[in-house]
A and B are shown apart, each in its own frame.
Chain A
Amino acid sequence: MSFIWTIAEQHDGELKAVSFELLARGRALADALDTRLASVLIGAEVSEAQLQELVVRGADEVYYIEDRRLAEFVCESWSNTLATLVRQYQPAVILAAATSTGRTLMPHLAVKLNAGLTADCTELAIEAGTDNLLQTRPAIGGNIMATIKTPDNRPQMATVRPRSTVPLPRDPQRAGKIIRVPADEAEVETRVRVLGCRTDAEDFVNLEEAEVVVAGGKGMKRAENFALLRDLAAQLDAMVGASRDAVDRGWIGYPHQIGLSGKTISPKLYIGAGISGSIQHLAGIKTAETIVSVNRDPDAPLHSIADFAIVGDLFEVVPELTRRLKALKAAET
């Protein structure tokens, strides 16, 4: 039997965009295999409308495991609960998002299930003839693309890089079943206690979800100058990112760091100002759709991988760009 699953993610009862991206991936695979697509959601107090939204975005079935004690992500209890469900239904493929939740849950679950797991995929396809899942992922700082398969073990598991695909359009006419699964008492027991979530942290960003990122490096010269980037970001609905050098100088917090020892992002637009483009920084932006570089050094490596490079002083270019975008907006309204 084949049967495709996606692990949906929600926060405070609200589905996250990655849940719909996964359904777009899963739908393509399910159609190629002529099989059903199910989405599994774990949590508490998720509305019927939100569950239905998973159907509208491509699921044939939704398994909703609801328990107050599963409201917050705790690897142990989520993994135990899912393992039982997988053993019962035996899906051929399980896809989750390559987020802090998915990248924690899936390897834990894969061990319990004796299953292979491919990390952070950007392409998925079905191999003709064998029906195996071909999973392609960037590795070694994005310098190679590896295609991986799991021929002998089931389920075939993969995490998928957020923003590497677009959700399917909503189809309110789509029919699907919503199945509520009770959580097992023994499985929600855990040795981990969630105390809370600190969201008030000054200067916190979720860069992975950004459509546009404006990033600054050592060329910004000092912390106050990041205000120039914040002004530009405001015009572009962007989030502000940084190189390691800027973070290590204390100009901006670690959640903003992009690269090998920071975040990997796939925005539609990345603008790097005063960033040289070291291999470690590039590792975090290789899957950005459009890259713009502002650097006064004509030989800066970031220029050579950019879609658009401006050779010049960022302190002239960035404020001018902000001013022009502001004017454009004013003209529109």
Chain B
Amino acid sequence: MLAYQEKPVKIIVPIKQVPETGNVKMDPQTGTMIRSGAAAVVNPLDLYAIEAALRLRERHGGSVTVVSMGPPAAIKAIREAIAMGCDGGVLVSDRKFAGSDTWATSYTLAAAIRWMGGSDLIVAGERATDGDTAQVGPGLAAWLDVPLATYVAHITHASEAGISVERLTEEGYQQVELALPALLTVVKEIATVRLPTLRGKKRARQTEVPLLTAADLDLDGARLGLKGSPTKVVKIARPKVARGGERVAVNGDPAAAVDALIAFLEQRQLVTGGRQ
């Protein structure tokens, strides 16, 4: 067989900007997040997707472009990704997109990815730390009609024809091979994330980031934003977290502390290992 030059891979990484802390406010009327206030960062789990994509580029050549849907301020997330080494990014932003659920988000992002000319590979995060659904990645694969592997912990082989990965499942690591183009969602085990470099930060400031609005994309207006979303948040409540627990201090007598714990576990019928 003739050796052939591998075609450089074009990789797209969808990233979400999320509030930095767990302290996010909700609009009790619409059930959507109030973004102002808390500092915003790239979804921490998307950093693993960026890292995995950059490593593939290092081995196979090609490009890594991020795409983010969000308010105009989400451009900061895109610049952070470029500072880490991504080649460029696209911001998808329009008031019409506000309040999108995962169905509408993946619909809109799929249109943006088509606008970008598609890709050989899409690498998404496992889930966003705020919405926490892990649904956008699989949804995107469905809209784009590309094969999908979620919870990818290792990429074992990649070539023009396909990519072999290991998925972290409840039973072990499922090994699958996908034809390209394909979509992966990755978990933290995939790689240790690099930090942005000074040079990268400079490049990030200089890189032009195209802004796509609803008018730029081939979209059905009825499928956008809060109105176009099948799910509606109807109530937000704070769960009770305080358990009003018992407390003992060891103070030089671990046996007494353990006595108290065992009495507590017996009372809750937990000392036999919780078996029914």
A interacts with B: yes
* A residues lining the B interface (CB < 8 Å): 11, 72-76, 79, 99-101, 103-112, 114-120, 134, 138-153, 190-201, 204, 206, 208-209, 211-212, 235-238, 254-255, 257, 260-262, 267-269, 279, 283, 286, 290-292, 298, 303-313, 316-317, 320-321, 324-325, 328
Interface string of B74-118 (1 = CB under 8 A from A): 000000000000000000000000000111001100000000000
- Tell me the dominant secondary structure on chain B's binding face: mixed
Tell me the complex Cα distance, A111–B232, Å: 16
Contact (Cβ within 8 A) B231 A206:
no
Contact (Cβ within 8 A) A108 B176:
no
Q: Which of B22, B141, B232, B258 contacts A150 (CB 8 A)?
A: B232
Contact (Cβ within 8 A) A328 B31:
no
Contact stretch, chosen from B51-59, B147-155, B196-204, B209-217: B147-155
Contact (Cβ within 8 A) A286 B241:
yes
Q: Which of A116, A152, A279 contacts B101 (CB 8 A)?
A: A116
Contact (Cβ within 8 A) A309 B248:
yes
Closest to B174 in A: A197
B15 at the interface (CB under 8 A from A): no
Contact (Cβ within 8 A) B239 A298:
no
B234 at the interface (CB under 8 A from A): yes
Taking the nearest CB of chain A, how far is it from the CB of B244, in angstroms? 8
Interface string of B249-264 (1 = CB under 8 A from A): 1110011011101101
Taking the nearest CB of chain B, how far is it from the CB of A125, in angstroms? 12
Contact (Cβ within 8 A) A107 B242:
no
* B residues lining the A interface (CB < 8 Å): 21-24, 26, 31, 44-45, 101-103, 106-107, 129-139, 141-143, 146-151, 153, 164, 166-179, 182, 187-189, 229-239, 241-243, 245-251, 254-255, 257-259, 261-262, 264-265, 268, 270-271, 273-275
Contact (Cβ within 8 A) B22 A117:
no
The answer to whether residues A198 and B22 also contact, given A311-B247, A312-B254 and a CB cut-off of 8 A, is no
Q: Which of A209, A237, A307 contacts B246 (CB 8 A)?
A: A307
The answer to whether residues A237 and B44 also contact, given A99-B170, A111-B142, A146-B235 and a CB cut-off of 8 A, is no
The answer to whether residues A147 and B22 also contact, given A72-B174, A311-B248 and a CB cut-off of 8 A, is no
- Report A-chain residues with C-beta under 8 Å of the C-beta of B177: 192-193, 195
Taking the nearest CB of chain A, how far is it from the CB of B156, in angstroms? 9
Closest to B190 in A: A254
Tell me the complex Cα distance, A111–B172, Å: 28
Contact (Cβ within 8 A) B141 A261:
no
Q: Which of B132, B171, B230 contacts A120 (CB 8 A)?
A: B132
Contact (Cβ within 8 A) A111 B143:
yes
Tell me the complex Cα distance, A142–B238, Å: 9
Residue picked from A111, A190, A199, A313, most chain B C-beta under 10 Å: A111
- Report A-chain residues with C-beta under 8 Å of the C-beta of B188: 254, 257, 261-262
The answer to whether residues A145 and B236 also contact, given A152-B230, A257-B188, A290-B268 and a CB cut-off of 8 A, is yes
Contact (Cβ within 8 A) B274 A311:
no
Taking the nearest CB of chain B, how far is it from the CB of A77, in angstroms? 10
A-B contact pairs, 7 of them (CB 8 A): A107-B138, A116-B101, A117-B133, A144-B237, A191-B146, A206-B170, A291-B243
Q: Which of B138, B142, B164, B232 contacts A195 (CB 8 A)?
A: B164
Contact (Cβ within 8 A) B275 A147:
no
Contact (Cβ within 8 A) B132 A317:
no
Taking the nearest CB of chain B, how far is it from the CB of A57, in angstroms? 15
Q: Which of B150, B175, B248, B270 contacts A196 (CB 8 A)?
A: B175
Q: Which of B148, B174, B232 contacts A76 (CB 8 A)?
A: B148
Closest to A101 in B: B169
- Report A-chain residues with C-beta under 8 Å of the C-beta of B250: 310-313, 316-317
Contact (Cβ within 8 A) A116 B248:
no
Tell me the complex Cα distance, A328–B263, Å: 12
Tell me the complex Cα distance, A292–B248, Å: 11
Contact (Cβ within 8 A) B235 A147:
yes
Taking the nearest CB of chain B, how far is it from the CB of A52, in angstroms? 22
Tell me the complex Cα distance, A163–B245, Å: 23
